[in-house]
Chains A and B, each alone.
Chain A
Amino acid sequence: MTNAVVVEGLVKRFGENTALGGVDLTVSEGTVLGLLGPNGAGKTTVVRILSTLLRPDAGRAEVNGLDVLTQGDRVRATIGLTGQYAAVDEYLTGQENLEMVGRLYRLGGKEARLRAGELLERFELADAAHRPAKTYSGGMRRRLDIAASLIARPRVLFLDEPTTGLDPRSRLGMWEFIADLVSDGTTILLTTQYLEEADRLADRMVVIDKGEVIARGTADELKAQVGGERLELTVSSSAQLSAAAEALRPLAQGEPHRDEQTRRLSLPVTGGTETLAEGLRRLAGTDVRVLDIGLRRPDLDDVFLTLTGHAAEESAAEAGADAAPTAVSAGASR
C-alpha cells in the first residue's frame, strides 16, 4: 500500500527548545493515523509542518508524494487542515465562510455554494447558515472550521484535536463523519487527547513525548505493551487487604498491588471469567467483605499514561505492571 504521508527525521527547534527531535512516521493511503502525546509533545508542530505552515530545521516530509518544502503549492491543493484552534471569520456567516474557502480552493462559484450548503447540512449548521459566526457557540465554530477544511474534498486531511470542545453528541457525530470520509478513501492524520477517539478511529497510532516517538502500533499492540488483564477488587476496610491478597495469591501472575487509601487490590491474572469465579470462591472462604470486584483490561488511557506518565522515578517495572495507580499519580503531578 502506498503511503499518503511520509515523515523522516523531522527536527524543529524554537530557539533553545527542541519541539521535534527527529520524528519518523508514515500514513498509508486511506487509513487513519492517531498522533498522541501529552501537552507540548509536538503534535501540532508535526501537523503544521505537514500543512506547509512551518519549515522544519531538518528532515523530510511528503504528502501524496509531494515534498512539503519544495512543492508547497501542490501540497496545499490536495490537503485539508483543521488547526487546533477554530479559524473561522467571525463576521462572515457560516455559508460565507465556507464559500470563501471553497473559492480559495478554486472551486467555481456555483460549486462552492452547493458544497457549502451540503456541509452545513451535514454538520447540523443549516439553521445558523446565515448568521455571522460571531453568534456561534464554541462547538458550532469547531464544526464550521472542520467543514471548511473539507470543502474541496481533500485527499489527505489533518485534524488537530478535532473534537476538543464538542459535546458528546457532536463528538459521536464527528466520529461517524470521519469514518465516512475514510470509507470514501480519505487519508487522515489526527491528533487527539481522547484516547477513546484514537481507539475508535485510528488504524495505527504514534505516541510522541517531548518531540520523540516513544511508541507506535495498533491499539492492541500498544495495549499489549502495557500488560494483560487484571483482577481488581475493593474491600470494606483496609485491614482486610492482606487477607484478600493472601487468598488470591495463587491466581496472581505477579505481585499484587494494594492501595490502602481506596481499599483496592489489583493483581495481574490470566484466564478471564473463570479466574474471576475462582477468586470469588476463594474469598468466600475468608471473612473479607468484597464491595466490588471485576476484570479490567488496559485501555488506551493506561497505555498513554504508562508511556508518557514520567513514572520513571517509581521504577520502570512498577510503571509497567501498575498502569492504573501510576496513572493517578502521574496525572496529579503534572
Chain B
Amino acid sequence: MTTLAETVSDSVTITRRNLIKVKRVPDLIVFATLSPIMFVLLFRYVFGSAIPIEGISYAEFLLPGIFAQTVVFGSTITGASLADDLQKGLIDRFRSLPMARSAVLVGRTVADLGLNVLTIVVMALTGLVVGWRIHSSVGEALAGFLILLLFAFAISWVMALVGLLVRTPEVVNNASFIVIFPLTFIANTFVPTDNFPTVLKTIADWNPVSAVVQAARELFGNTAPSLETSNAWPMQHPVPYVLAWVVVLLVVFVPLSVWAYLRTASR
C-alpha cells in the first residue's frame, strides 16, 4: 500500500512536471494572463459605460465577477491536459509505474491551481490599474481569493473526470465551453440579477458561481448598501453555500476521477 508520504511525494513530482510545461510553453502563460487582462479592460470600459450601478463603481462591481469567471475557465485546462496525456500514452506510462494511484490527478489539479493563482494575481493588478479597490481587511481579502481558488480547484476535479471520459482535448474544450459559459453568465457576474426574468433569476440565485462572486464581493468590500442582494438563501449565506459545494464536488468527483483514471487506457 502506498503511504501518505509517498502519495505526497509522487504528487509533487507530477505537479513539477506539469509546471515545467507551463514554463516551456510560453503561450500558456501568455493566454492564461492576457485573456483575463483583455476581459477586465473590455468589460470595464465597454459594459462599464453602459451599466450604471447604484452606489458603487462598475470596476469594483465587475472585478470579483471576472475573477470568478476566469478561474472557473482556468480549471477546464485540467480536462484538456489529461485528455492530451491520455492520447500521448503518458497515462499508460504512469499507470504502469508503482506510484500512488491518485498522484497523477492530484499533481494535475494542483498545477492548474497554481496557474490560476498566477492568473488571479495578474487580474488583480490589472483591476487595481482600472479602479478596482479592496475595502476590507487583509484577512478578509485573502479569504476572498481563497474562496475563488477553492471553488476553481473543485471544478478542476469535475473537469478531470470529463477529460478522462471524453479523451480528446479539443472536444473537452468545446464541451466545457458550452457548460461553463452559461454557468458564469446566468449569474450575478457582470450585472445585478434584479431585472432577470423570474426563472433566470432563480437559477442565478442558486448558481454556485453567483455565490462565489457574492462571497468575493463581500470579502473584498465591493458592495454598497444601495446594492440589493437577493433574498435567496445562497445569496444571503454565500460563504457556507460555496464551501458546501466545494465539499460535495470533491467528495463526489475525486473518487470518480480516480476510478476513471484506473480504468482508462490510451486507446
Q: Taking beta carbons and an 8 Å cutoff, which residues of A are in contact with B? A: 48, 51-54, 73-74, 76-77, 79, 81, 83, 85-92, 96, 100-101, 103-106, 132, 148
Stretch from B52-60, B61-69, B86-94, B121-129 that touches the partner: B86-94
Cα separation A103 to B2 with both chains bound (whole Å): 14
Q: Which of B20, B24, B92, B99 contacts A104 (CB 8 A)?
A: B99
Q: Which positions 249-267 of chain B face chain A at CB distance < 8 Å? A: 265-266
Q: Is the CB of B13 within 8 A of A103?
A: yes
Asked if B6 is at the interface (CB within 8 A of a chain A CB), the reply is: yes
Which of B1, B90, B97, B266 counts the most A-chain CB atoms under 10 A from its CB? B97
- Interface membership of chain B positions 1-14, coded 1 if the CB is closer than 8 angstroms to chain A and 0 otherwise: 11000100110010
Asked if A91 meets B93 with Cβ closer than 8 Å, knowing A104-B13, A104-B99, A106-B6, the reply is no
Report the contact-size class of chain B (Cβ under 8 Å from the partner): 20 to 34
Asked if A100 meets B17 with Cβ closer than 8 Å, knowing A73-B2, A83-B89, A106-B6, the reply is yes
Asked if A52 meets B97 with Cβ closer than 8 Å, knowing A100-B17, A103-B13, the reply is no
Asked if B98 is at the interface (CB within 8 A of a chain A CB), the reply is: yes
Q: Which positions 4-61 of chain B face chain A at CB distance < 8 Å? A: 6, 9-10, 13, 16-17, 20-21, 24-25
Cα separation A17 to B89 with both chains bound (whole Å): 23
Q: Is the CB of B90 within 8 A of A76?
A: no
B interface SS class: helix
Residue of A nearest to B94 (CB): A104
Which of A76, A88, A91, A132 counts the most B-chain CB atoms under 10 A from its CB? A91
Which of A85, A89, A104 counts the most B-chain CB atoms under 10 A from its CB? A104
CB-defined A-B contacts under 8 Å, sample of 20: A48-B92, A48-B265, A51-B96, A52-B96, A54-B265, A74-B98, A76-B98, A81-B96, A83-B92, A83-B93, A87-B92, A87-B93, A89-B17, A89-B88, A90-B88, A92-B21, A100-B17, A104-B13, A104-B94, A104-B97
Asked if B95 is at the interface (CB within 8 A of a chain A CB), the reply is: yes
Cα separation A86 to B88 with both chains bound (whole Å): 8
Q: Is the CB of A52 within 8 A of B21?
A: no
Q: How far is the CB of A281 from chain B (nearest CB, A)?
A: 59
Which of B24, B93, B94, B99 counts the most A-chain CB atoms under 10 A from its CB? B93
Q: Is the CB of B96 within 8 A of A79?
A: yes
* Additional A-B contacts beyond A79-B96, A83-B89 (10; CB < 8 A): A73-B98, A76-B96, A81-B96, A83-B266, A100-B13, A101-B97, A103-B10, A103-B13, A105-B99, A106-B98
Chain B residues positioned under 8 Å from A54 (CB to CB)? 265
Q: How far is the CB of A138 from chain B (nearest CB, A)?
A: 14
Q: Is the CB of A92 within 8 A of B20?
A: yes
Q: Is the CB of A101 within 8 A of B93?
A: yes
Chain B residues positioned under 8 Å from A148 (CB to CB)? 93
Q: Is the CB of A73 within 8 A of B1?
A: yes
Cα separation A54 to B96 with both chains bound (whole Å): 10
Q: How far is the CB of B1 from chain A (nearest CB, A)?
A: 7
Residue of A nearest to B10 (CB): A104
Q: Is the CB of A105 within 8 A of B90?
A: no
Q: Is the CB of A132 within 8 A of B96?
A: no
Q: Which of A74, A77, A86, A132 contacts B89 (CB 8 A)?
A: A86
Residue of B nearest to A80 (CB): B96
Q: How far is the CB of B83 from chain A (nearest CB, A)?
A: 15
Q: Is the CB of B89 within 8 A of A85?
A: yes
Q: Is the CB of B96 within 8 A of A96?
A: no
Q: Is the CB of A53 within 8 A of B20?
A: no
Asked if A91 meets B98 with Cβ closer than 8 Å, knowing A53-B92, A83-B92, A104-B10, the reply is no
Q: How far is the CB of A49 from chain B (nearest CB, A)?
A: 11
Chain A residues positioned under 8 Å from B93 (CB to CB)? 81, 83, 87, 101, 148
Chain B residues positioned under 8 Å from A92 (CB to CB)? 17, 20-21
Chain A residues positioned under 8 Å from B265 (CB to CB)? 48, 53-54
Cα separation A105 to B99 with both chains bound (whole Å): 7
